[in-house]
């Protein structure tokens, strides 16, 4: 079966713009988590969604937001982009909350110029 | 605060040798630990996990050791192959949250010498 799909793979935006990234989890998976990966900070948890509700949130400013749809697909949005938002954004899907395996997508590489 | 770290940023081993990658964690409440492998251009891939009530777990060519006394985790890869070249991350899950909210270490880049 298909893995986690993230679109787009690459994105270039200008400071001040906003961006929306998409994640389609593995079929049947209902939990989606988002992470930001940068060379300096490594992999950092952004938020987790389950049943269309945000269940956990990491230590990121309010410019970072997300949502989950009834089909478990998730989007994350970053408003008023800053240069420091340049990163690889990874989505991970799990069967349910408390599941011990998370499957990652290939990520969306966001570059802010 | 939560943190998982302490690592050698890079590790070079000869093909066929065993590799040991180390990681320290700080949150004594963490219940679950995972090792991920990330190859260039890909997302992290699950390798092996261990719960806090265990001190050792073996998989295919990999072994994870957990020492709760010193809050230390290690990944042992037997008979390292070229395909093992990647960045390896340890991750911890605070509380009983499964793998939905992970705290990652900074990673160790494993290079295999022919």
The dihedral through the CA atoms of B34, B31, A100, A55 has a sign that is: negative
User: pLDDT digits over B26-53, tens only?
Assistant: 888 888 999 999 999 899 999 999 999 9
Whether residue A27 contacts residue A82, with contact meaning beta carbons closer than 8 Å, is answered with no
Report pLDDT for A101. Answer: 85
Q: Does A38 touch chain B (CB under 8 A)?
A: no
- What are the chain A neighbours of B102 within 8 Å (beta carbons)? 33, 35, 43, 45, 102
Min Cα separation A70/chain B (Å)? 19
Q: Does B58 touch chain A (CB under 8 A)?
A: no
* CA separation, residue A36 to residues A2, B29, B52, B75 (Å): 23, 24, 26, 24
Whether residue B82 contacts residue B27, with contact meaning beta carbons closer than 8 Å, is answered with no
Q: Does A104 touch chain B (CB under 8 A)?
A: yes
For residue B5, name the pLDDT band (cuts at 50, 70, 90).
very low
Q: Does A105 touch chain B (CB under 8 A)?
A: yes
Min Cα separation B104/chain A (Å)? 6
Res. B21: pLDDT tops 60: yes
Distance from CA of residue A110 to its chain's centroid? 12
Res. B60: pLDDT tops 50: yes
Report pLDDT for A1. Answer: 62
Q: Tell me how far apart the alpha carbons of residues A9 and A107 are, in angstroms, rounded to a whole number.
A: 6
Res. B7: pLDDT tops 70: no
Res. B24: pLDDT tops 50: yes
pLDDT beneath 50, residues of chain A: none
For residue B63, name the pLDDT band (cuts at 50, 70, 90).
very high
Tokens of A34: 């988002």
For residue B4, name the pLDDT band (cuts at 50, 70, 90).
low
Q: Tell me how far apart the alpha carbons of residues A65 and A62 are, in angstroms, rounded to a whole number.
A: 7
Q: Return the exposure string of A37-66: e unless at least 16 CB atoms fall within 10 Å of the residue's CB, then b.
A: beeeebbbbbbbbbeeeebeebebeeebbb
User: pLDDT digits over B71-110, tens only?
Assistant: 999 999 999 999 999 999 999 987 666 778 899 998 999 9
Report pLDDT for B36. Answer: 96
Q: Does A33 touch chain B (CB under 8 A)?
A: yes
Q: Does B33 touch chain A (CB under 8 A)?
A: no
With CB atoms and an 8 Å threshold, state whether B43 touches A48: no
Q: Does B97 touch chain A (CB under 8 A)?
A: yes
- What are the chain B neighbours of A42 within 8 Å (beta carbons)? 89, 104-107
Report pLDDT for B6. Answer: 41
Whether residue A74 contacts residue A67, with contact meaning beta carbons closer than 8 Å, is answered with yes
Min Cα separation A90/chain B (Å)? 7
Q: Tell me how far apart the alpha carbons of residues A67 and B13 are, in angstroms, rounded to a whole number.
A: 43
Indicate the SS3 state at residue B18.
coil
Instruction: For A94, name the nearest residue in chain B, comparing CA atoms only.
Output: B100
* CA separation, residue B60 to residues A99, B46, B57, B88 (Å): 22, 13, 10, 16
Q: Which of B44, B88, B37, B83 is nearest to A3 (CA)?
A: B44
For residue B2, name the pLDDT band (cuts at 50, 70, 90).
very low
Q: Which of A24, A27, A28 is nearest to A92 (CA)?
A: A24
Report pLDDT for B3. Answer: 47
Res. B1: pLDDT tops 70: no
């Amino acid at each position: 079966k298909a893995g986690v799909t993230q679109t787009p793979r690459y994105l270039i935006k200008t400071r001040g713009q906003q961006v929306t990234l998409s994640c389609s989890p593995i079929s049947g998976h209902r939990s989606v988590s988002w992470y930001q990966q940068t060379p300096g900070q490594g992999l950092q948890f952004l938020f987790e969604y389950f049943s269309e509700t945000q269940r956990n949130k990491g230590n990121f400013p309010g410019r970072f937001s997300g949502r989950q749809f009834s089909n478990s697909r998730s989007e994350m949005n970053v408003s008023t982009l800053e240069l420091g938002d340049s990163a690889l954004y990874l989505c991970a899907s799990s069967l349910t909350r408390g599941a011990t395996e998370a499957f990652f997508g290939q990520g969306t590489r966001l570059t802010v110029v | 605060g939560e943190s998982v770290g302490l690592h050698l940023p890079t590790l070079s081993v000869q093909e066929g040798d065993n590799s040991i990658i180390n990681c320290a964690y700080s949150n004594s409440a963490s219940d679950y630990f995972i090792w991920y492998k990330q190859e260039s251009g890909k997302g992290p891939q699950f390798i092996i996990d261990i719960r806090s009530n265990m001190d050792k777990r073996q998989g295919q060519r990999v072994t994870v050791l957990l020492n709760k006394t010193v809050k230390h985790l290690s990944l042992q890869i037997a008979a390292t192959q070229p395909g093992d070249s990647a960045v390896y991350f340890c991750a911890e899950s605070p509380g009983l949250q499964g793998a939905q909210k992970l705290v990652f270490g900074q990673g160790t880049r494993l290079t295999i010498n022919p």
